[in-house]
Amino acid sequence: MRLPKPIKLNDSKIFRWMMILFERAKEIGEEGEVPIAAIILDDQGRCIGHGRNQRNKQSDPLGHAELIALRQAAWIKGDWRFNECTMIVTLEPCQMCAGALIQARMGKVIFGADDKKRGGFGGAINLSTHESAHHKMIVRGGVLREQSKKQLENWFIEKRQQKL
Residues labelled catalytic: 66
DSSP, collapsed to helix, strand or coil, labels residue 13 as helix
CA nearest 40: which of 29, 49, 51? 49
The count of other CB atoms within 10 Å of the CB of residue 95 is: 16
Task: State the amino acid at position 138 in one-letter form.
Answer: I
User: According to DSSP H, which parts of 31-144 are helical?
Assistant: 55-58, 65-77, 95-103
E-state strands within 12-154:
37-41, 47-52, 86-91, 108-113, 138-140
